[in-house]
Amino acid sequence: MNPLDRRDFLGLTLAAGAAAALPAWARPHRADNNTFFEVVPVGDKGNAFAILGEGGNSLLINDGDSSLLVDCKNGPFGQVLLDDIRKLGAGDDLTVLNTHHHGDHTAGNIAFRESSNIIAHANTLPRIDANMEWYQRMGEQAVRQLDELPADKRAMAETAVMSYAERLSSLEADMFRPTSPVIEPREFIACGSIEIELYRMGNGHTDNDLIVYCRELNLVHTGDLVFNRVHPFMDADGGCDPRNWRNVLRNVRQFGDDDTTVIPGHGSVGTKSVIDGQIKYIEDIFEAVADSISKGMTREQVTETTYGFQQGVSVDWIRPIANGFIYDLLQE
Ligand SMILES: [Zn+2]
């Protein structure tokens, strides 16, 4: 379900009284005409926002003049994201964090690197160099995308997109590289007086996944350890380990309580049920591909198959990659 459908769905089905009892992220929210991205309030204190679109989901937490931004989206939209978070009250003391190295979470770093510390797991650093082609491709794609945007959105993004596109031949890894690598499995950072916990629990989606947990606001940003109703991208070259991925999620499942808000890397914001959905997907894909292998299916046949649990899941180009990855694992 795309964000617009979700908005309409909630808008049509919830009476105003019922809406007030829901967590902030589930209440009907109008498309905010002042921001480029879809903004979903999270955390029930009015100081935290999930920011959706043009790459991985971002999270902004504000406390006075201090702010934390988790993930920076596709490069051409980094400056647009910066413009949006200022509208959402981001302070001058802005810390940025990348949940992992993938381009749709780190390319926007280019707009933040001069003025902000950028935290990421240490394993992210060498992988940024390998992203350069991805960072460049984004520029070309974004220019084509401009024509598909409504006029008001285009007006907000055009200058940023065109200026990124003009720099494609001079992009360097240092423009994107995090400045503050972390190595411990558990670290604490502060956003003003708000404590944020960072966890790395081994390889999952990549070899540098950080999980961001804010106990005070009762929310967790999982990065791409959770794709909510989107096929999970399994990156053979990025250290993906689907078996441990499932284990990591079982641990993340222990954070918070039944009301904990979960911001996935892709797809809609939800509760811990979206973590359960990702665990189930991983369990199902192992079972389904193992069954196919036992029936003598080839790798090509497996990649071409849409299994029952994969029906209706978004971003279908990822599905054959996931099926093929699991096939290869089971053949080892
Ligand atoms: Zn990713």
**Domains of the chain, first to last:** 3-228+264-269 (3.60.15.10)
Please, what is the average pLDDT of the chain?
A: 92
What is the rounded end-to-end Cα distance, in angstroms, of the chain?
A: 36
Q: What is the whole-number distance in angstroms between the Cα of residue 200 and the centre of ligand 1? A: 15
Find the range with the poorest average confidence among 17-26, 155-164, 226-235: 17-26
CA 12/CA 250 separation, integer angstroms: 34
Q: What is the whole-number distance in angstroms between the Cα of residue 105 and the centre of ligand 1? A: 7
Residues ≥6 apart with Cβ < 8 Å to 259: 23, 218, 271
Asked if the model's pLDDT at residue 30 lies above 60, the reply is no
- Give the angle 64-66-68 at the CA atoms, nearest 5°: 125
Q: What is the whole-number distance in angstroms between the Cα of residue 99 and the centre of ligand 1? A: 8
Q: Which of 315, 70, 279 is closest to 178 using CA atoms?
A: 70
Q: What is the whole-number distance in angstroms between the Cα of residue 233 and the centre of ligand 1? A: 7
Q: What is the whole-number distance in angstroms between the Cα of residue 160 and the centre of ligand 1? A: 23
Q: What is the whole-number distance in angstroms between the Cα of residue 203 and the centre of ligand 1? A: 12
pLDDT, tens digit, 9 for 90 and up, residues 109-160: 999 999 999 999 999 999 999 999 999 999 999 999 999 999 999 999 999 9
| CA 199 from centroid of its chain's CA atoms | 16
Q: Are strands 219-227 and 261-266 parallel, antiparallel or unpaired?
A: parallel
Asked if the model's pLDDT at residue 326 lies above 60, the reply is yes
Q: What is the whole-number distance in angstroms between the Cα of residue 224 and the centre of ligand 1? A: 5
SS3 232: coil
Q: What integer pLDDT is reported at residue 285 of this predicted model?
A: 98
Q: Are strands 38-41 and 186-191 parallel, antiparallel or unpaired?
A: unpaired
Could you tell me the two tokens for 137? 């491709």
